[in-house]
Structure 1
């Protein structure tokens, strides 16, 4: 079996947030086709207990403890040069030494870097002999641009600089590597506009959803909500700035009108590590902040409506796909639907501003139950287009894994000649 180096910026387990969901399913897929050598950072102390499970899928591993204070200091040092703070944040001598020792053995001929900053470890002379693929996932440089647009000066200036430096780096990596992948057609198209010299190497593969796990009616058992309550739910990692911004905007701009019309209505913000700006929202009548929960499914299943009011977003929102897989009516902003090819009015509801959020939510609440036909159409879409095993075939094609007939998605780059 061929050998492959897989580099990730976080331990790809547990799959409880967007990047870890994708990187975990990639690892499972790779382990069936390669002897995988995994190098990654661990930025959460709780993740150390999962290293044995991850190592069970790998030929070898190197786990690096990411100390945030040191990483931030490295990021600030990038300001002294024309380099990306994100790349410096994940720069580590121990991981580089492990990669170089591994490659010196000559057995590894393929490499996959998950997220842009991890490509730095195979960008040197040793990496040039490899068949290298970069899964950027999102166009992170554009995400930093969005951050800059939403922040006051001088933070906006710092973020705009990072957007420019990171785009320069992304272009360089895409041109050097055999193929560059993104999470959706929309992300790939955006990058082709930003990096035209790498357009022929740029492709995508959609995320998937475990449709058996996220299924209507799952799990059975008691609801986490008060008996008879009408609930709107917003899920996600609540220390992630786009989710923080979305929760605050919804409570400030949409919630007062909905609560006025429906005084008993509740809004649950469900997700790990809520930032202080999220926790303080509990002061608003009807708003609940749960923090980390053992299972998000009861909160989705028991809600009349799942909302995704993001104003800043790139890539694909797993929170939207998971709710759709459970047959729930989803009310989302255009930003939350980036990369999800769904028909508003048939498979979900689209709201472009607070007026439309209030209008659509009010209609659903007046009906008394979530729209069954829309939920069924949403689940059908997920089953049709968001199957992990089928979608990962496209990544396999980039790495030279034979693709089953009809499995490769349209718009994928043709893999360049592999080194012998």
Structure 2
């Protein structure tokens, strides 16, 4: 099929869902054109990943100051701030021009921030990959965040809920990454039944990791500007890391991810903790880690960091929420922690017992290759394409 893919960011290895779905669609012979926004100055590496895909790219380099001004002006209105931020006239113009050529079988919009661009094209089959229930994500941010971030989150909750509710029924198909988010979206818009397209992982890429743990090394990574990740790692460092260091004085913790907020950078002042910021290739860090942690307790969707740890064969300790969302076997594929005390004990168990780590190394890699492939996710996307195309004929 001929697919126009529209996103508010550049698909890359740092945005694994769109990057791998596009790569798999192209591998299967679909003709893909991508219209994507680039607002961040650090998008060069992401653009290189996109260009290496065999597609036709239209990259709109949006002016960051204008995007911020749009979001600021929207405070007085009802539009979600992040939607206003991405409401770029050049993106709308290019999408209109491409659709006017009349050569696309499907229009695929990823994320709520740009889904509104698709509302005017009622004659062409349209799929909205919501990925997460964004109103649920903002609700969790409103509960967790204080100061300016908390005020923004509280402002966003009602706006995003109303916007999602109105927008969802307008699309011919809606996809989402987790069952919990599918239920949340159906609750908002009862006429909508989202297709479940779970996140996968590039098992070949991460499987190249030569796992040789070096001492008591603990690893956390993720998008650190995302409130759930920042909250999780700050809480872990403040409440659990001193207990771990008390029993394992040589233990080290590496915190990796782009754009850490100031309070996350400050964690690097504690003994044994290093905050690295962005790294291009995570695999050398995975290769040396004895334990990967995913202490996230709130948020939407599937935790990529958990799947990447399993694919690399690094023993994973995660909250029960994460383990249950992936249906992992506690004790062999990962260690599940019910509460902070259990999380601390699980990390220490792996640091003290390398044999347990070796067992989990094998079972985790096997599970990923069996159940968490992008091929399976793309099968569902293709089925949705076919269904909505037939319905429009």
Please confirm whether the aligned pair reaches a TM-score higher than 0.5, indicating the same fold: yes
* 370, 384, 390: which one aligns with 1:384: 370
Report the 3-state secondary structure (helix = DSSP H, G, I; strand = E; otherwise coil) of the residue aligned with 1:106.
coil
Q: How far, CA to CA, are the matches of 1:150 and 1:58 in structure 2?
A: 41
Q: CA RMSD in A?
A: 2.4
Distance 1:160 1:335, change over 3 A: farther
* 263, 266, 269: which one aligns with 1:280: 266
CA contact (8 A) 1:37 1:58 kept: no
CA contact (8 A) 1:36 1:57 kept: no
CA contact (8 A) 1:186 1:338 kept: no
What's the counterpart of residue 300 of structure 1? 286
Deviating more after overlay: 100-109 vs 55-64? 55-64
Is it true that 1:316 corresponds to 2:302 in the alignment? yes
CA contact (8 A) 2:105 2:389 kept: no
Report the 3-state secondary structure (helix = DSSP H, G, I; strand = E; otherwise coil) of the residue aligned with 2:204.
coil
Q: How far, CA to CA, are the matches of 2:72 and 2:335 in structure 1?
A: 42
Distance 1:60 1:210, change over 3 A: closer
Aligned 1:19-418 pairs, distance under 5 A? 20-31=15-26, 32-48=28-44, 51=47, 54-55=50-51, 57=53, 60-124=56-120, 127-152=121-146, 156-199=150-193, 202-215=194-207, 218-219=209-210, 229-337=215-323, 339-400=325-386, 415=388, 417-418=390-391
Deviating more after overlay: 262-271 vs 185-194? 185-194
Report the 3-state secondary structure (helix = DSSP H, G, I; strand = E; otherwise coil) of the residue aligned with 2:265.
helix
Deviating more after overlay: 305-314 vs 156-165? 156-165
CA contact (8 A) 1:316 1:338 kept: no
Distance 1:45 1:280, change over 3 A: same
Structure 2 length normalisation: TM-score?
0.92
Distance 1:77 1:112, change over 3 A: same
Q: Deviations over 1:283-312 (max 9, x none)?
A: 111111222334211212211111111233
Distance 1:338 1:93, change over 3 A: farther
How many residues are treated as equivalent by the alignment?
392
Q: How far, CA to CA, are the matches of 2:109 and 2:152 in structure 1?
A: 26
Distance 1:39 1:157, change over 3 A: same
Report the 3-state secondary structure (helix = DSSP H, G, I; strand = E; otherwise coil) of the residue aligned with 1:395.
helix
CA contact (8 A) 1:269 1:289 kept: yes
| Structure 1 residues not aligned, in runs of 5+ | 401-413
TM-aligned CA deviation for residue 334 of structure 1: 3.3
| Structure 2 residues not aligned, in runs of 5+ | none
CA contact (8 A) 2:135 2:157 kept: yes
TM-aligned CA deviation for residue 279 of structure 1: 1.9
Q: Deviations over 1:52-87 (max 9, x none)?
A: 763565664321123333222212222222222121
What's the counterpart of residue 392 of structure 2? 419
What's the counterpart of residue 11 of structure 2? 12
Q: How far, CA to CA, are the matches of 1:206 and 1:343 in structure 2?
A: 18
Deviating more after overlay: 57-66 vs 140-149? 57-66
Distance 1:170 1:73, change over 3 A: same
Report the 3-state secondary structure (helix = DSSP H, G, I; strand = E; otherwise coil) of the residue aligned with 1:25.
helix
CA contact (8 A) 1:328 1:370 kept: no
Distance 1:343 1:4, change over 3 A: same
CA contact (8 A) 1:43 1:66 kept: yes
Q: Deviations over 1:230-285 (max 9, x none)?
A: 11111223333322222211110000111111111111112333332222212111
Report the 3-state secondary structure (helix = DSSP H, G, I; strand = E; otherwise coil) of the residue aligned with 2:276.
strand
